[in-house]
Amino acid sequence: MPMKLYYGKDLSAWNTFGMKVSCACFVEYSSVARLQEFWKAWRYGEHVLPKPFLHIGRGSNLLFTGDFPGTVFHSDIKFIREYGKSREEGDETAVPRSSEERPGTAGRPAESSGVVLVEAGAGVLWDDFCRWCADNSLWGPENLSGIPGETGAAAVQNIGAYGVEVKDIVRYVKCFDCVTGAAVTFRASECRYGYRDSMFKSGAKGRYVVTSVVFSLSAVPVPRLGYGHVRAAVEKVLGRPVPDVAGCPAGSAESSRLPDGLTASMVRDVILDIRNSKLPDPAVMGSAGSFFKNPVVPRSDYERVASVARLEHGMDCEVPHYDAGSGFIKIPAAWLIDQCGLKGFRAGNAGVYEKQPLVLVNLTGKASPEEILYLENLVRNAVVNKFGIMLHPEVEHV
């Protein structure tokens, strides 16, 4: 497929907030070879593109603050394959598995621990990848089901949900170096992953373009159910308790006690039900998912928040929190916003989602970037004025 190039491209369908903005130029490529060809042509003056340059996935973690004056690039590299599976040269489509190839059989190349390596192109929709893994009895991304966006952006953002971050399952990240024009591969340990962060967002931002990601998945059950009420929801579906096997080696006596019926697909369905009960569908109501990061603060700041809560609600008030190590505490941003009475708050065409205050939404489909920015500042000021905690956006502003 040749490179696609458009001028004055409407980006309404390329950001889940539904901001009605455009870019000066839009370029879409379908393979690493096409990207390399285009880069060489640009390098030698055969293409003149307006700057700055911006790579996006589906814009699921972006807030366009206005029309983009430069060139937006998008990867349409779409394939999913297990390592060891053959494919024809240049074929970037998913390699189908026969019905006989199941975990633990000779048809699947797996490491002794049950680990299976799977590579996905950067343009694969993230939830399509999660579905593919669950359908093929591979464990790892099921807790991350339903997160909008694409696989390449997931590795850049280090997406996370329900006790799992994508860094937990990333083995390698394959990239294109925009400085040298070379294809490079980084181990997960080299990507400097942090909370909703990576080197691709910070120190090396703009240099490397993710072209595909290699994931380390498990062919044996490794459910991670310890976050929130995920375990209770799974047990309700199964109708029986599920032992906690977190940290137990795959195939150990502990992991063998898992009940029949506990599959990656079942856990995925539970996660999707939980998400759908709390979060809006971007196709129906524009949003970028969780707008703010959960603040990680020193224990002294947490104690101040707890004191404010007890003064308002009584000494029995419990502030939800998680130990972040090294004397730091993570406090749910949604709880802080809710305590400020902002759940369901509306400002023009923008609002705080009525079911999940961590999400800012384009209520009418007509919200402008200015309305979202106004609401963002209103929420941040309310939380800092009440609790002395500054919220920082998870969503990237462009």
Catalytic site residues?
196, 290, 394
Residue 166, phi then psi, degrees to nearest 5: -65, -25
Strand 4-10 to 22-29 pairing: antiparallel
DSSP state of 47: -
The span from the CA of 94 to the CA of 232, in Å, is 35
Q: Answer positive or negative: Cα dihedral of 163, 169, 172, 173.
A: negative
Question: Do residues 194 and 239 make contact, with C-beta atoms less than 8 angstroms apart?
Answer: no
Residue 384, phi then psi, degrees to nearest 5: -70, -35
Nearest to 388 by CA among 316, 327, 298: 298
The span from the CA of 54 to the CA of 72, in Å, is 5
H/E run at residue 53: strand 53-56
Here the tokens at position 55 are 């790579």
3-state helix, strand, coil in the chain (%, to 5): 25, 25, 45
The span from the CA of 353 to the CA of 109, in Å, is 45
Q: Which long-range contacts does 300-303 make (Cβ < 8 Å, 24+ apart)?
A: 301/329, 301/388, 301/389, 302/329, 302/331
DSSP state of 48: -
Q: DSSP for 170-238?
A: EEEEEEEETTT--EEEEEGGGS--BTTB-TTTTTTTTTEEEEEEEEEEESS------STTHHHHHHHHH
Here the tokens at position 218 are 């498990």
Question: Do residues 347 and 371 make contact, with C-beta atoms less than 8 angstroms apart?
Answer: yes
